[in-house]
Amino acid sequence: MKIKKSQPDGNMIRLLAILAAFIFIAGITKPALFMQLGNFQSIGKQLAEYGLMALGIGVCMISGGIDLSAVYIANLCGISAGLLMQKMIPAGGSNPGAMFLSIAAAIVIGALCGAFNGFLVSKLNIPAMLATLGTYQLYMGIAVVITNGSTVSGLPSAYTALGTALVAKVPLAFLIFLLAVLILSFIMQKTIFGTRVYLVGTNPKSARFSGIRNSSILIRTYMISGIVAAIAGLVSLARINSAKADFGSSYTMQCILIVVLGGVNPNGGFGKISGVAVAVVILQVLSSYLNMFPDISNYFRDLIWGVALIAVLIINHVIAKRRIAKLDSV
């Protein structure tokens, strides 16, 4: 029997085709506005924040859970970094060491928040949705307490400059997103840890019986989500020059949508980081395109995304069913 070589991923091809179709339609109908370097730059800049969070949530969903607290981890980390920078760097001054320290602190906080999520999910057996529902209130609460409910703003200009920085005409934020995609894809596809995350997501019981320590895998999975969320928080801090405890609350929904659009199975075990990444780009291209029609309300995007989510679910379901039918007939 000949072992088939791994076929090109059907889901990935579909996603890329959708993306190409959208860019094509947008390019034809709005060439003057859409086909601009500036437009693509702003697409790259805007998608980084929720794109990063979507990657983290995607990893959690592959492990069979979900992370509803990512947005609030991001806010908490952004706020902590902002407050630290304000404390350590005098207004108008610059101090690269302090800035680096603040960024590192934010990432550590994100990792801790994520590890706590993982602890609740794996050690205490709380369903992931509930555990992260609780921690989302908790992290948001902590952010409210340390800021006294106000917005953190007025950051050193050296830091906010990063938010608009371009590296060879590519926004720095997009490069960070791209780097995260590459690293996470590598972790999920090429390392033992990644394979184990898939196993735990497919069937936690058989994973345990095959000698995998589920709890250590899950804690690390949620830690990844926390770290990625922290980076998202730092990116948004630089871009909008402020951070607030309840910023971006609609991102949670949007990220779950992206992850499912990207082909991750909400029950865990299936899906790829690269699919999630392309779904992020699709969503941002679509929303930038819709922004070019001033008379279409922003809220129409919700309608389109909701329909897209349900449609993708159904399409994936039908395709999976067909594949199973094919396997049965062999």
Interface contacts to another protein, rule CB under 8 A: 66, 68, 120, 124-127, 129-131, 133-142, 144-145, 148-149, 249, 253, 256-257, 260, 266-267, 296-307, 309-310, 313-314, 317
Give dist(CA 241, CA 233) in Å, integer: 11
Contacts of 241 (CB under 8 A, 6+ apart): 153, 154, 155, 160, 163
Three-class secondary structure of residue 171 per DSSP: strand
Please state the closest distance from residue 123 (CB atom) to another protein, in A.
10
| DSSP letters spanning 284-322 | HHHHHHHHT-TTS-TTHHHHHHHHHHHHHHHHHHHHHHH
Residue 124 per-residue DSSP state: S
- What is the torsion angle, in degrees rounded to the nearest 10, for the CA atoms of residue 44, residue 247, residue 77 and residue 47? -10
Please state the closest distance from residue 168 (CB atom) to another protein, in A.
37
| Residue number, 154 or 266, with CB nearest to another protein | 266
| Residue number, 165 or 315, with CB nearest to another protein | 315
| Residue number, 111 or 120, with CB nearest to another protein | 120
| Residue number, 159 or 305, with CB nearest to another protein | 305
Please state the closest distance from residue 74 (CB atom) to another protein, in A.
16
| Residue number, 3 or 325, with CB nearest to another protein | 325
Please state the closest distance from residue 205 (CB atom) to another protein, in A.
13
What φ, ψ does residue 152 adopt, rounded to 5°?
-90, 120
| Residue number, 66 or 234, with CB nearest to another protein | 66
Please state the closest distance from residue 90 (CB atom) to another protein, in A.
27
| Residue number, 99 or 260, with CB nearest to another protein | 260
Please state the closest distance from residue 58 (CB atom) to another protein, in A.
13
| Residue number, 141 or 241, with CB nearest to another protein | 141
User: For residue 99, what are the CA distances in angstroms to 161, 168, 236, 244?
Assistant: 12, 24, 15, 19
Question: Which among 264, 289, 270, 274 is positioned nearest to 58, based on CA atoms?
Answer: 264
Give dist(CA 263, CA 252) in Å, integer: 17
Question: Which among 145, 114, 148, 309 is positioned nearest to 231, based on CA atoms?
Answer: 114
Cα dihedral sign, 108-109-115-119: positive
CB neighbours (10 Å) of residue 305?
18
Please state the closest distance from residue 158 (CB atom) to another protein, in A.
31
Q: Which amino acid is at 35?
A: M
Which residues on adjacent β-strands are paired with residue 79? none
Please state the closest distance from residue 131 (CB atom) to another protein, in A.
7
